[in-house]
Every structure is written in structure tokens, then in C-alpha cells.
Structure 1
Amino acid sequence: MNVSDLITANQSLWQEYTQHRFVRQLGDGTLPDSAFRHYLIQDYLFLKHFARAYALAIYKCDSFSAMQRPLTALTGLLEHETSLHVAYCQEWGISEQDLENIEEDSGTVAYTRLVLDIGQSGSLTELYVALAPCALGYAEIGAWLPKQSFTARANNPYIAWIDMYAGETFQQLAVDETRSLDEMMKEISADSQQGRKLNRIFRDATRMEIAFWEQGLNKQ
């Protein structure tokens, strides 16, 4: 099986996630400021647990060469992505102290604990499948939004966010992630017990991504 099999098996949920009302409002620039600010703060808190998940991935590797992949991701997150996120939040009037002091919303708790539970109790492949909807979904959103007639570039406060995920760097990251995950799953049959388990994990993580958008809209 491969990543395409996971997306196809969950196509309805996947489309609900990648073409969510939150995403469409980012595209046309009508998303309320309060919804986006809440999302930015919760995404920062999510990144903390994302880092912990990659640390778990390193722990689960059985060779130095295998450790390199999650180590690279963890180093990039700690040294670059987090600081970029903090700087972007500051542009929206959210200080680093604000980011540290605000509590996790229920959707953030549900999503991150799902991933960490899989990371602690499951296999390395299962952990990567749980992480996959985030990077792969945002890449699809980044590729999809600029092509839509409703997406506005002029006077759109969210165009920098769209451009970041539409950019070559993030798009290539998703290509690399897909290639690596395909390699990990190549010996697994989609209709096997393990294949069905991976599909459930992917489905649940995609549901959590939808809930992440919803909690932002609920804070309007």
C-alpha cells in the first residue's frame, strides 16, 4: 500500500479537511481575525507535541541511518520552524509570552495526544502515518488554493500563509515525506490487518485536522 491508498480510502474526510470552510476563508481573505489568531496560538502548542513525536520516532529507529530522517525533521522544527512561527505570530500581535501562557484547546489536546499515544504504543510506520495528514494536507492546501477563482491576493491578510505552503520548500517536503512513507508501507497489503490499522490511524488523524479548523472557527 501507499499514501495514495490512504487518501483514496478516506477521500470524503480528506476533502473536508483540505477544502474546509476555514481554508476557503483563508483563500478569499474573509476569515475573522479572531479565528486565525486562535489557530496560530494552538498551532504553536501543536508544534511542541510534534517535536516530541519526532523524538519518539528517533527512539523507535533501530539504526543510525534510520534516525537521520526524524532527527533532521526535529532539528528543522526546533531551530527554524518554531522561530518562524513565533515571528509570524508577532506580526499578528501575539507575543511569545502569549503563546506560552494560553492553554491548549480541546481539539489540540485530542489531536496531539492521539499522535503521541500512537508514537508510544505503535510501530514507527504507524507513527509516521499519524503525522502524515499534517504535512501532506497542508501541501495539498498550498497547491489547491492559488488555483481557485475565489482566492484573492490583493488585500488578503492571509496571503503570506498561503504562499508559505504553496512554496517550493514545503511542496518538496511533502514529496519527500510521501516517498519515504510509501517505502515504509510497500510490503503491507491494504486489506491486511496492518493495512486496515494504518488506514484507521490516517482516518483518525484527518478527523483531528478537521477538528483543528473547527476550533478556530468556534473562536470567532
Structure 2
Amino acid sequence: MKYQDLIEACQSDWQEYTEHTFVQQLALGTLPQESFLHYLKQDFLFLKQYARAYALAIYKARTLEDMRQALPSVQALVDTEIAHHVTYCAEWGLSESDLENEPEDFGTVAYTRYVLDAGMAGDLVDLYAALAPCSIGYAVIGKALLNSAETKLEGNPYRSWIELYGGEEFQTGVAQGAEHFDRLLKEIDINSQRGQILVEVFKTATRMEVAFWQQGINAGEI
């Protein structure tokens, strides 16, 4: 099977994730600032755990090639993406100290620990099935928003977010990771017991992404 088969197996959850109200309001620039700031702080905490999960992929890898595949993701997260996130948050008045001292929301804890647990309890493929909804989903969302005629870029305070995830660098990196994931999935039948376990892992992580958006929306309603 391929990763696209996992998406199709949980299509309603995937659609709820990629077309969430949070995403739609980002595209229009109407998302309340409180919602976005809450999301930024929680996403910093998420990215730290996400980097740990990719480090776990190196530990779980059985071949040098699989180790090589995971290493750039760890380096990119620690050296580039988190650093970019800190710089970006500074534009919104949030210092690195603010981000480090922010309490983890329940949704953040549930999601990140689920990913780590899936990797610890299973093998490399289980771990990537839990990681994939985030990276692939953000690429799908970024590309869709950047290409949509309904997206408002001019004067949109969230324009840089849309351009980051819809941009060539992020899209290329995710495409390479997705190709590697497909190679790992190649010999697995989606209808087998193993395949159905991976579907459940992917689906649960996708539902966690929905909850992550929703906690941002809820923060703007307080």
C-alpha cells in the first residue's frame, strides 16, 4: 500500500483536519489573534516533541539507509524549523523564554505522547504512520491555501504561514519523506491485520491534528 491509501481509509477525519475552521480562517485572515498565538505557543512545544520522535526513528531504524532518511528531519527540526518558529513568534511579541515556559495544553500532550508511544510500542513503520499526518497534512493544507483563489494573501496577517507551508522548500522535503514512507509500506497489504493497525495509528494521529486546531479555536473564544 501507499500513504494515500491511509488517507483514503480515514477520509472524513482527513477532510475535517485539512479543511478545519482554523485553516479556513487562516486563509481569509479572520482567525482571532488569540487563537493564532495559542497555536504558535503550543506548536513550539509540539515541534520539540516531534524532533524527539524523529530521533526515535533513528533508534528504531534497522538499516543505515533508514537512519540516513531520519537524520535530516531531526537536523531540520532542531536547527531550522524550531529556530524559524522562534523568530516568527518574536514578530508576535513572544520570546523563546515565553515559549519554553508555556504550559502544554491537554491536546498537545495527548498528541505528542501518542506519537512517541506509537513509535516505542511498534516499529519504524508504526512511528512514521503516527508522524505522517502532521507533515503530509501541512503540505496538503499549505499547497491548497496558496493555490486557492479564495485565499486572501494581501493584508493577511498569516500570509507568511501560508507561504511557508505552501512553499517549494517545505513541499519538497515532505515529498521526499512521503516517498520514503511509501517504500516502507510497499510490502504491506492494507487489508491485512498489520495494515489495519497502521490505518488506526494514522487515523488516530489525524484526529489529534483536528483536536490541535480546535484547541486554538477554543482559545480565541475564551
Q: TM-score, normalised by structure 2?
A: 0.97
Secondary structure of 1:155's match?
coil
Are 2:108 and 1:87 aligned? no
Task: Write the letter of the residue equivalent to 1:55.
Answer: A
What are the residue-to-residue correspondences of 1:127-142 with 2, within 5 Å? 127-142=127-142
In structure 2, what is the Cα distance between the partners aligned to 1:185 and 1:28?
37
What does the per-residue CA deviation read over 1:53-84, in whole Å, with 9 as the maximum and x for residues that have no partner?
11111111123232111111101111111111
Partner of 2:123: 123
Partner of 1:7: 7
In structure 1, what is the Cα distance between the partners aligned to 2:153 and 2:112?
32
In structure 2, what is the Cα distance between the partners aligned to 1:97 and 1:178?
34
What are the residue-to-residue correspondences of 1:165-176 with 2, within 5 Å? 165-176=165-176
* CA drift at 1:148: 2.8
In structure 2, what is the Cα distance between the partners aligned to 1:145 and 1:60?
35
Partner of 2:189: 189
Are 2:96 and 1:102 aligned? no
Q: TM-score, normalised by structure 1?
A: 0.98
Task: Write the letter of the residue equivalent to 1:215.
Answer: Q
Partner of 2:20: 20
In structure 1, what is the Cα distance between the partners aligned to 2:63 and 2:184?
15
In structure 1, what is the Cα distance between the partners aligned to 2:98 and 2:139?
28
Runs of 5+ in structure 1 lacking a partner? none
Partner of 1:114: 114
In structure 2, what is the Cα distance between the partners aligned to 1:146 and 1:122?
36
What does the per-residue CA deviation read over 1:97-133, in whole Å, with 9 as the maximum and x for residues that have no partner?
1001110001000100100101111110010010000
Partner of 1:202: 202
Secondary structure of 2:219's match?
coil
Partner of 1:150: 150
Runs of 4+ aligned structure 1 residues displaced above 4 Å come to none
| Identity among equivalent pairs (%) | 53
Task: Write the letter of the residue equivalent to 2:163.
Answer: D
Comparing 55-64 and 126-135, the one that deviates more: 55-64
* CA drift at 1:89: 0.3
Task: Write the letter of the residue equivalent to 2:135.
Answer: A
Runs of 5+ in structure 2 lacking a partner? none
